Chain A
């Protein structure tokens, strides 16, 4: 089991202990405050991953071969999920971040109330992050070095 897989397993274990969906959502509200502050300039339309009811902004970069990103949302529950995604993906080698199989939010025991529609929304965010990791990886391969951080 690699690090990324281990982190997802840890999340599942933690949430299984919480039990019911209300406890899970309340816990996510708390995790929201742990998400690192996001630079204001990230919250631009070009960085937005639009969902139906909440907004998410992402901006990623490569640092010493690793995937790093800033993220924010206008809703606390989604911020809590971004914090979990950050634990899984941020700081991982680009190859691992781009190629990982991400699934923790789909576990019915974790967030029983997350129906398909909501799962899809979080899935879009995860897919956007992995796409960006893939692009950074390709840039590195094309240029033979670290791609410059976006301004």
Chain B
């Protein structure tokens, strides 16, 4: 009898089953960048465009009311998925990057002034770093980064020292998109809150690894993208506690977020709508709702367990290869595994793998400060999802071995200098 993951791979992920490029089959191992859409998501998108497409909040007619109800239903699904207190804490955005930018802009408008301190970390994706850097630049606040240890963990002692300066906010990832480090978010949030510091969590890489609910994490904000949870691109979520959403001023204005306009004042809608100026990505929201329901139906614990096992297997196999060095040794790793094989560059390795039908990511993964900290310009990243198989990871190992041996034969001294 087939395993559950084999059944759903064949049934629900036509792209994975049929992936090919120039007539050659492709093994897709770049799920940290984007996951493939589950079949129910494709149906939801089709259904939206076929029978539901109408603008929301402005129509009294049936189709508009139906579209609005669908958006609010997805808001409720998101709230339940995240363990939020209510759907009123879910803001729809264009993805995690837009969420971080929206929050940073709102925070700059409402909370920051010259001399204030904001914290981010050395392991952030640029999308959880640059919005805060820009917010600080505009307001005269200072941005400081929590350093990363040799093992690839956040240096919590250094965090404590920074918290003594009473920062306004800490922007931190739940899982590093390069090292896979799972950060101890609850512990971090407790320390930050004790210092009067709000906590914003970039959960883009953590949504499939059984992240605890936002109330359990006790974070003030959290964001993620639909395209990393089997949903479509161009849509995501910003969670903000009700108190925070009430307090923050919306940085974007326009239609759909105003309750009244007087000559000299504007009254904004309450809750998430005040942050959703303009027409939202309605089809994307429908797809996101279907994706989260899909993950719930398959079983979030089962998915997390399966992905953890695949990642551990990948690590075991890659450690067999001489000349290859896996980055970081965090206590808990999820989602991604990055490596180097000096003096080959990440680009060389990814190209050699691509030529053998294996799709991995190479470069800085939009985390230049972390690579700088590690003394590297880039790395190769492997990120299996639950629909991948151990056989695919075996194929990756074979292709990598062939690549490294081929490079050595071509005169590249792979493995002669262990440092990358």
Contact = CB atoms under 8 A, between A and B. Distances in A.
A1 to B, nearest CB: 30
Interface stretch (B95-103, B243-251, B408-416): B408-416
Given A25-B351, A77-B351, A112 B22 contact: yes
A20 interface: yes
B355 A29 contact: no
B323 to A, nearest CB: 14
Contacts of B378: 53
B345 A29 contact: no
Given A25-B351, A53-B363, A74-B345, 11 more contacts: A26-B352, A26-B407, A26-B410, A29-B348, A30-B409, A30-B411, A33-B412, A53-B346, A53-B347, A53-B362, A74-B377
Given A53-B346, A75-B347, A29 B363 contact: no
A78 B406 contact: no
Interface in A24-72: 24-27, 29-30, 32-33, 52-55
Contacts of B407: 26, 29, 76
The 10 lowest CB-CB distance pairs between A and B, nearest first, are A30-B410, A21-B355, A29-B410, A75-B345, A22-B355, A26-B406, A75-B347, A53-B347, A33-B411, A53-B363
B347 A78 contact: yes
A113 B351 contact: yes
21 contacts: A22-B355, A25-B352, A27-B410, A29-B410, A29-B411, A53-B347, A53-B350, A53-B362, A53-B363, A74-B345, A74-B377, A76-B344, A76-B345, A76-B407, A77-B348, A77-B351, A112-B22, A113-B22, A113-B351, A113-B354, A113-B355
Contacts of A30: 409-411
Interface residues of B, number: 24
A26 to B, nearest CB: 4
A21 B377 CA distance: 25
Interface of B: 22, 343-348, 350-352, 354-356, 362-363, 377-378, 402, 406-407, 409-412
A77 B412 CA distance: 11
Contacts of A32: 410, 412
A78 B355 CA distance: 15
Contact of B356 (A22, A54, A75, A76): A22
Contact of B345 (A20, A21, A33, A54): A54
Counting contact residues on chain A (CB < 8 A from B), the size range is 20 to 34
B406 A29 contact: yes
A77 B409 CA distance: 14
Nearest to B378: A53
A86 B352 CA distance: 23
Given A29-B406, A32-B412, A76-B407, A54 B347 contact: yes
B382 to A, nearest CB: 17
Given A30-B411, A74-B377, A22 B346 contact: no
A82 B299 CA distance: 51
Contacts of A75: 345, 347-348
B123 to A, nearest CB: 20
A32 B345 CA distance: 13
Contacts of B356: 22
A76 B404 CA distance: 13
Given A53-B362, A53-B363, A76-B407, A29 B347 contact: no
Interface in A70-106: 74-78
Nearest to A78: B347
B22 A76 contact: no
Nearest to B346: A53
A25 B411 contact: no
A29 B362 CA distance: 17
A25 B351 CA distance: 8
A33 B354 CA distance: 22
A77 B297 CA distance: 45
Nearest to B363: A53
Nearest to B356: A22
B361 to A, nearest CB: 10
A24 B345 contact: no
Contacts of B351: 25, 77, 113
Nearest to B350: A53
A32 B350 CA distance: 17
Contacts of A55: 377
A3 B412 CA distance: 31
A30 B412 CA distance: 7
Contacts of B410: 26-27, 29-30, 32-33
A24 B377 CA distance: 25
A21 B344 CA distance: 18
